[in-house]
Structure 1
Amino acid sequence: MKTTEKISEAVVRRLPVYLRYLAELLGNGVQTVSSQDLGRRLDLNPAQIRKDLAYFGDFGKKGIGYDVEYLIEKIRHILKLDRDIAVVLVGAGNLGKALSNYNAYLNDNMRIVALFDSQPGIIGTAINNLTVQPMEEMVGTVQTQHVRVGIITVPGSEAQKVADDLVNAGVEAILSFAPAIIKVKDGVRVHYADFTTELQSLAFYLE
């Protein structure tokens, strides 16, 4: 990987897109793919794909393209998906429940290992073979299970407190579905998934 040039967030966000399509190709028995083929399928410039991958190494062969299985292995390594990554989810309401059920489709190395909620009616219920735990157990669970990623699906008014607890327990990255801006210390990464803002931005493009 190049260490003298900063890798942009846009590049990192495209890698899982490449990985998903490569996995489809491998499942269909395709052994090699060119950047042109990838570009047509993903509606991206082939030169951009080659540039993205070149940040991390020389994975293709001129006139042949990329070995699909080899490139999957390399992208998984770049994204650190070749090691176990434990995830916890805080907020087991309707959205949290849906995400927990989606857990079955995540890569085996990156899985939701624990669920938490503050509602007495939700605590103790089972979702996709996981029992919802009370919030009081979150810090201890994060530490004992060496959790590195947290998902927040609580109301916006509770998001900062939950984020603080996760970070203090040792979580290094947070995916927040809460409608609120979260402030965390340097070294902790926060990504937001906001359905409302995504829909509102789509409205701009309507005729």
Structure 2
Amino acid sequence: MKNIKIPKPTIKRLAMYYRCLENKKAKGMQKTSSKELAESLEIKASQIRKDLSYFGEFGKRGVGYDIDKLMDSIKTILGLNKKWNVAIVGVGNLGSAIANYTGLEKNGFIIKAAFDKNKSKVGTQISAGILVYDMDDLKKICKEKNIEIAILTVPASVAQQVTDMLVETGIKGILNFTPTTIKTPENISVEDVDFTISLKSLTYDIVSNNKDIYELAE
């Protein structure tokens, strides 16, 4: 891999390419091309070739990509060639929904524990084999279960406080579902997920493509 900073949108597209390749493999395909991938994902083939070029040479002109080999390469790039131990912090509706999403384990993200301050939830299971622990035991349990990634679904008002606790456990990354920015040391990666921002981006696209909506708003 070249020693350069990879744009974040490129990394996100790699995950899309991997999913697309999975679908093609499930259909019995063994080879594909940047053109076929581009048509499936409705993006430019040149963008796919550019994204992959950050990491080396894949495929041959006129021959295309070997699907299995490309999937293996992308798995290695994205760190998906290993299992990741995950904890959910905040067992509300969103935390519970995530715990019951089977796609996580399928992709190598194994939920080992959940945490909440609500005593009535402590000791219960939010999904098969996923026990809810008291927040007071967060540091101890995370170390015992070698938690590497935390999915944060707590209220925004306590997000930074809980983040500081997670930093002390030695985790490597946080998937932040709280509607606030959290601060971590440079060695801990944070990925923010905010549905409302995505929805606002979606509504912008809707109104920008529909002049009638703008006229009604005037």
| Aligned mates of 2:163, 2:80 — CA distance in 1 | 23
| Aligned mates of 1:146, 1:110 — CA distance in 2 | 13
**Structure-1-length-normalised TM-score:** 0.94
**Structure-2-length-normalised TM-score:** 0.90
State the 1:25 CA deviation: 0.8
- Structure 1 gap ranges (5+): none
Q: Name the structure 1 match of 2:174.
A: 174
What are the superposed Cα offsets for residues 101-131 of structure 1, whole Å, 9 maximum, x if unpaired? 01x2223532211111111222222122111
What are the superposed Cα offsets for residues 14-36 of structure 1, whole Å, 9 maximum, x if unpaired? 11101111111111111000000
- The reply to whether residue 27 of structure 1 matches residue 26 of structure 2 is yes
Q: Name the structure 2 match of 1:88.
A: 87
The code of the aligned residue for 2:74 comes to I
Q: Name the structure 2 match of 1:64.
A: 63
State the 1:195 CA deviation: 1.3
| Aligned mates of 1:75, 1:197 — CA distance in 2 | 28
**Cα RMSD (Å):** 1.2
Considering only CA atoms, is the larger Rg found in Structure 1 or Structure 2?
2
Q: Name the structure 1 match of 2:189.
A: 189
| Aligned mates of 1:33, 1:73 — CA distance in 2 | 15
The code of the aligned residue for 1:193 comes to V
Q: Name the structure 1 match of 2:138.
A: 138
| Aligned mates of 1:77, 1:135 — CA distance in 2 | 34
- Larger mean CA deviation between 120-129 and 60-69 belongs to 120-129
* Conservation of the 8 A alpha-carbon contact between 2:80 and 2:107: no
The code of the aligned residue for 1:98 comes to A
Q: Name the structure 1 match of 2:103.
A: 105
- Structure 2 gap ranges (5+): 211-218
| Aligned mates of 2:118, 2:7 — CA distance in 1 | 40
| Aligned mates of 2:187, 2:193 — CA distance in 1 | 20
What are the superposed Cα offsets for residues 170-194 of structure 1, whole Å, 9 maximum, x if unpaired? 1121111111111111221111111
- The reply to whether residue 154 of structure 1 matches residue 154 of structure 2 is yes
Q: Aligned residue pairs: how many?
A: 205
| Aligned mates of 1:91, 1:30 — CA distance in 2 | 41
- Larger mean CA deviation between 107-116 and 52-61 belongs to 107-116
